[in-house]
Every structure is written in C-alpha cells, then in structure tokens.
C-alpha cells in the first residue's frame, strides 16, 4: 500500500478530519487575531504607561518559548476533553506572537511622526488608522502568519485531548504503525499551512504601502 | 495680533518649564524663539497649538483663548512644520501635502490644484515628485515637502520647530534662502524655533531670547544684534557679532544702481566711449532684449582689441540674489577677488550692484555700535 493508500481508501474520513482541523484552527486563530490586535492597540495608546507596554511585550516574548503541548495540557486540566478546550488552548497560544509583534511594532514608530500627525490636527483615532496601523502592517502580518502556521501544526497535537482534526489520523496511525494513515493526517495539514501562509502573504503585499516597503529596504541596506 | 501670550506658564510638577511669559508675536513676520537647550523655546511653541497644554496665564489665537478652541480645530488652522522625519513614509508626496486639506474636507479637485501650486512654490517639479515616496527623496527635498505640507491649508499662522536642523550646511543655506523668498510671497505669521544663532539672524524679523523659561529680550533682530541687553544675549551672539550683523542686512537694501550696462550688440568703440564718459573701468553686458546678465568687459580688454562685438570679449561673472545677505556677498567678493558683484533677480535680470566699499561701511558702523560699552 502506497503512501496515499489511506487517503484513497478513506477520502470521506480524511475530509471530515480536515474539516474539523480547519474549524479548530480557524476559530482559535481568527479570534486570536482580533483580540490580539485589540490588546496591542490598547497597550500602545498614549495614555498607557510605557511600563505596561513593556510588560506585555516581555510576557509575550517569554511565552513564545512555552511548548504548545504544555498550554494544551494546562487548559485540558481545567476544561476537560473535547473541541472547546482545544480551541481555547490554541487561541491562547496564537495570541502570543500576534501581541508580541504588534505591540513591539507600535513601540518602534517614531514619536516625531505621531507628534507631526497630532500637530496637523489629526484625532487619536485618525492617527491610529491612518498612521500607526499602516506603518506596522509588515510586523503585524509577521505575527499573524507565525500564529497561523504554528496553530495549524499545534492543532494536530490538540487531538490528544479529543478535539478531533487531522491529528487523530496521525496518532492512530502511529499506534498502528500505519505509515499511510500517518501520512493522511500529516500531508493535508502541511498543505493547509502552506496554503494559508501564501494567502496571507498575498494579502499582506496587497495592503502594505509601497512607501513602507521602500523604507524597510532602505533601513536594511543602511544597517 | 494673531498670537498673544499673556503671562503664559508651564509647570511639570515642581519644575517650571516656562514662567510668566508675555509676548505679542507680530503678524506677517518671522519671529524666532531661541536660547540654550532647556530654555523653554520648544515648550512655548507647542503651547501655541496646544500640543503641550499650558498650566497658567493665557494664550490668545486670533483673539480667542486656546482654552476655548477645540484643540483639533486649532491645530488644523495652524501650519506645523518639523524636521523632514515627520513626513509619513507610507504616503506619497501628494498625500503627505494633502493631509490637512483632507482633514478639512476640501474637494479633491481643489486639493490637487493646491498640492501642485505648493510643489511649485517650494521648487519641486510636480511632474517628478508628486507620486514619489519620502524615502526616494533627498533630505533637502523632503524638507521642502515638509514646508509645503505645513502651508497646505493656507493657514495664517505657521509654527516651525527646528525644521532645517538635520540638513547639511550647504543645502540648509539654500533652503533658508528659498524659505525667505516664499515668506515674502505668502507673508505668514511665523513662529520659528532654532538653536542656531546664524539661522536666527538670517531668517528672523524678530528675536525672542529665552533662558530658563523666561523671556530675556524681545526685539527686532537688528536691535538685538546691536543692543544685546544681557550678557547671555551677548554670549549667544558671540564675539564676532559685527560680522553676524552682516547676515541680517539684505543685498536688496544696499545694492546700488550706479552701474553701466551695455547691450551685447553694442559696438566696442561705442562701449569704450561710454565707459570713459562714466569713468568706469568695466561694464556689465546684458542681453539687449530681456536684460539678462551675460558677463562683463573691462576697459583694458577693449583697448587691447578694439574691433569686434562685445559678445566676444564678454567674460562670465558670479552674481548674487537680492535676498542674500551682505555676509554672503562679502564671502563671494573675497573668493572671487572682485570689488563689485552684480545683483540679479530670480530670472537672471541685472538689477543692481553691490560693492565691497558698501559692505565695509556697514561693518564699521556695526563695530562702533557693538563695541560701545565693552
């Protein structure tokens, strides 16, 4: 039986697991993107003490090195098995790179730019949407893309707490030493990760200002 | 008066940044705020558009206290020009200049016309620059965009916070000259912060000198240079202030028109005759039709070769513009080894001459005034 044997024989089951996988990843990641951006914006507002921002950046930076399985295990202890605990764990885990990248990017915006904007009569909201967010798009996306890739990979582990998804095929395959079944879980997961990353990189290129790209290029040449 | 500070004060806890500052900024002129670092010049400027809220006294803008202005509306009505770093890197030059007009919801058609006019005003070719991004421009060009952006909504008042501080000395001179020409045209009420006394003397109609948050002296630039009231002001001006004084005198106010100019088509015998009649050792050659300066001829060279047209004998010469300072003129005269420098306007038309004698006389007068009491 070839590598694709399991997929060819059980297309329905593979699709079902892929579907579960997309649901777990999609929900946990999308909510993390939304909430991650909101938190990053909140901690970077002018009224917030720099110490608060630094703390958030510090915590998220440290949290990036926590193994995903540990997060899942801890959430599992509190919420039991199933899809919901998996989504909660993955949501928490995806938050980290998004908040880390976005809030450190907000911090690096030249204060002179924001003051110029204020001096010309822009409101705080206008400064956020017209100056700050367009400028942090590259770093913001780097966080969002990292979160997506990690999340798709980690979702396979989430099967360990009974969440379903492609991980289930992998774990059962491992127990049965069935290469083709392992492959039926791993291959679609890898494809999904690559596909989502390409999609996001296209989107990023589309919404990044040409001027920001030139600026980045110029700075990287200067250093 | 457009801007009036009345016992204005700014304290941060127990630290006083600006104390009891009363100052009426003259309309349609450039007023410089200058002083040692930490003197409160930037704080004072930022209190005018509310970027830094005052903690005492009052500041009136067009007769209305800043407390009564909506700060956002106030800032949209006051031009704000800072160092070129303040340009938005993600906006094209067009979009950068259009920021305030768009905040004011001008029609897009009107904005477009305004942006093109402004690029023209700051000497940037609209065809070349409109759709470029700031990172594609040189520092000097970016600063010109910064000036255009600050003037975009045609505000009566413009605040300038060390705008030319980051530019190399040669380009700084150029942009200062351009800026003076622009100001002659637009006549805004400008408050300009700098720590560079040369820049202050060159650009300022008035100087306000601050120290430790208080106003030390406020007067016309001429009066400050000639009558520094305190040792601090004297120090700021430096020992060579007689020379610095030259930087506040414009060529246009001292140039003479007792010069001989001849059309380039004039026959050389005729030219020689006229020069002898005027007892002039040289004459400037201009284009007969548009009066543009071509160069000069000397009696000596004409006597050597009396035949031929003036055009062949004409030697090129440096010239100076009317808004340059006497200091610029003197430097040019020295470096060229000339005694007289032709003055030409923007289009290259000969409008006068400035001589070393005139300049030396001014130095003498200033030295007398300056040394007095030393």
In a domain, A3, yes or no: no
B70 touches A at CB < 8 Å: no
Q: Which domains does chain B have, with CATH numbers?
A: 3-249 (3.40.50.300), 253-361 (3.10.580.10)
How many angstroms away from the CA of B86 is the closest CA of chain A? 5
In a domain, A6, yes or no: no
pLDDT value, residue A194: 96
Nearest to A119 among B80, B83, B87 (CB): B80
In this predicted structure, the answer to whether residue B292 has a pLDDT above a threshold of 90 is: no
**What is the pTM assigned to this prediction?**
0.78
Residue B267 pLDDT class (50, 70, 90 cuts): confident
- Tell me if A4 is assigned to some domain: no
Q: Is the ipTM value over 0.90, yes or no?
A: no
Q: Average pLDDT in the A117-140 region?
A: 95
Query: pLDDT digits over A9-61, tens only?
Result: 999 999 999 999 999 999 999 999 999 999 999 999 988 888 888 888 888 88
- pLDDT higher than 50, residue B181: yes
Q: Does B85 lie at the interface with A, CB-CB under 8 angstroms?
A: yes
Smallest CA–CA distance, residue B115 to chain A, in Å, is 16
Give phi and psi for B146, each to the nearest 5.
-60, -40
Share of chain B above pLDDT 70, in %: 95
Report the pLDDT averaged over residues B267-281. 83
Instruction: Give the minimum alpha-carbon distance from A121 to chain B in angstroms, rounded to a whole number.
Output: 5
Alpha carbon of A44: minimum distance to chain B alpha carbons (Å): 19
**Identity of the residue in A119, A121, A131 whose CB atom sits nearest the CB atom of B88:** A131
pLDDT in tens, B205-250: 999 999 999 999 999 998 898 888 888 888 888 766 667 778 878 8
Considering the domain boundaries, does residue A5 fall inside one? no
Q: Which of A133, A211, A219 to mutate to test the interface with B (most CBs of B within 10 A)?
A: A211
Q: What is the mean pLDDT of chain A?
A: 91
Candidates B75, B87, B92; nearest CB to A121: B75
Please judge whether A214 and B136 are an interchain contact, meaning their C-beta atoms are less than 8 angstroms apart.
yes
CATH number reported for the structural domain that contains residue A49 in this entry: 1.10.3720.10
Instruction: Give the residue from A160, A155, A37, A54 showing the smallest Cα distance to A107.
Output: A54
pLDDT tens-place string over residues B41-87: 999 999 999 999 999 999 999 999 999 999 999 999 999 999 877 89
In chain B, % of residues over pLDDT 90: 46
The verdict on residue A35 lying in a domain is yes
Range of the domain at A167: 11-222
Q: Is residue A167 part of a domain?
A: yes
Contact present, B319 and B346 (Cβ < 8 Å): no
Query: Nearest Cβ partner of A118 from B51, B90, B149?
Result: B51
Give a yes or no: residue A1 inside a domain: no
pLDDT at B308: 66
**Quick one: what percent of chain A has pLDDT higher than 70?**
98
Instruction: Record the tokens describing residue A94, joined without a space.
Output: 């995806």
- B4-36: pLDDT as tens digits: 999 999 999 888 999 999 999 999 999 999 998
**Interval A47-98: pLDDT, tens:** 888 888 888 888 888 877 888 888 888 888 888 888 888 899 899 989 999 9
What average pLDDT does the segment A163-168 reach? 91
Q: In chain A, what residues touch B133 (CB-CB under 8 Å)?
A: 209-211, 214-215
pLDDT at B371: 45
Q: Which residues of A touch B (CB under 8 A)?
A: 110, 112-113, 115-123, 126, 131, 134-135, 209-212, 214-215, 218
| Residue A2 is assigned to a structural domain of this protein | no
Domain tally, chain A: 1
């Amino acid at each position: 039986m070839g590598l694709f044997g399991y997929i060819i024989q059980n297309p329905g089951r593979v699709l079902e697991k892929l579907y579960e996988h997309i649901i777990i990843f999609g929900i946990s990641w999308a909510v993390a993107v939304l909430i991650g951006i909101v938190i990053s914006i909140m901690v970077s507002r002018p009224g917030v003490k720099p110490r608060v921002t630094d703390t958030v950046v510090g915590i998220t930076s440290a949290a990036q090195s926590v193994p995903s399985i540990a997060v899942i295990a801890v959430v599992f202890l509190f919420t039991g098995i199933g899809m919901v605990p998996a989504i909660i764990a993955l949501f928490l885990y995806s938050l980290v790179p998004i908040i880390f990248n976005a809030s450190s990017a907000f911090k690096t915006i030249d204060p002179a730019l924001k003051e110029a904007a204020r001096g010309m009569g822009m409101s705080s909201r206008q400064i956020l949407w017209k100056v700050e967010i367009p400028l942090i798009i590259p770093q913001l996306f780097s966080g969002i893309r990292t979160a997506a890739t990690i999340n798709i990979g980690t979702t396979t582990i989430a099967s360990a707490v009974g969440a379903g998804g492609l991980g289930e095929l992998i774990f059962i395959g491992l127990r049965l030493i069935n290469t083709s079944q392992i492959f039926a879980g791993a291959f679609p997961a890898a494809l999904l990760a690559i596909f989502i990353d390409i999609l996001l990189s296209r989107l990023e290129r589309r919404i990044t200002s040409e001027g920001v790209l030139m600026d980045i290029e110029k700075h990287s040449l200067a250093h | 008066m457009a801007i009036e500070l009345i016992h204005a004060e700014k304290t941060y806890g127990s630290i006083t940044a600006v104390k009891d500052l009363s100052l009426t900024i003259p309309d349609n002129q450039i007023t410089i705020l200058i002083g040692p670092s930490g003197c409160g010049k930037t704080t004072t400027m930022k209190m005018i558009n509310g970027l830094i809220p005052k903690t005492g006294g009052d500041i009136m803008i067009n007769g209305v206290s800043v407390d009564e202005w909506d700060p956002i509306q106030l800032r949209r009505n006051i031009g704000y020009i800072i160092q070129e770093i303040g340009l938005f890197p993600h906006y094209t030059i067009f979009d950068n200049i259009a920021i305030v007009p768009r905040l004011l919801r001008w029609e897009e058609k009107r904005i477009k016309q305004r942006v093109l006019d402004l690029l023209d005003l700051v000497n940037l070719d609209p065809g070349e620059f409109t759709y470029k991004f700031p990172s594609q421009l040189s520092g000097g060009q970016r600063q010109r965009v910064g000036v255009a952006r600050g003037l975009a909504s045609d505000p009566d008042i413009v605040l300038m916070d060390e705008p030319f501080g980051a530019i190399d000395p040669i380009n700084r001179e150029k942009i200062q000259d351009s800026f003076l020409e622009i100001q002659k045209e637009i006549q805004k009420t400008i408050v300009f912060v700098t720590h560079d006394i040369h820049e202050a003397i060159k650009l300022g109609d008035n100087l306000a000198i601050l120290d430790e948050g208080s106003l030390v002296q406020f007067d016309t630039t001429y009066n400050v240079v000639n009558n520094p009231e305190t040792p601090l002001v004297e120090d700021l001006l430096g020992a060579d202030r007689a020379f610095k004084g030259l930087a506040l005198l414009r060529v246009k106010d001292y140039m003479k028109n007792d010069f001989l100019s001849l059309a380039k088509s004039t026959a050389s015998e005729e030219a020689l005759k006229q020069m002898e009649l005027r007892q002039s050792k040289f004459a400037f050659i201009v284009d007969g039709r548009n009066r543009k300066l071509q160069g000069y001829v000397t009696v000596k060279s004409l006597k050597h070769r009396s035949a031929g047209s003036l055009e062949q004998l004409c030697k090129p010469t440096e010239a100076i513009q009317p808004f340059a300072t006497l200091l610029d003129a003197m430097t040019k005269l020295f470096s060229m080894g000339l005694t007289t420098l032709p003055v030409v306007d923007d289009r290259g038309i000969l409008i006068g001459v400035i001589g070393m004698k005139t300049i030396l006389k001014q130095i003498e007068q200033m030295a007398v005034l300056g040394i007095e009491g030393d």
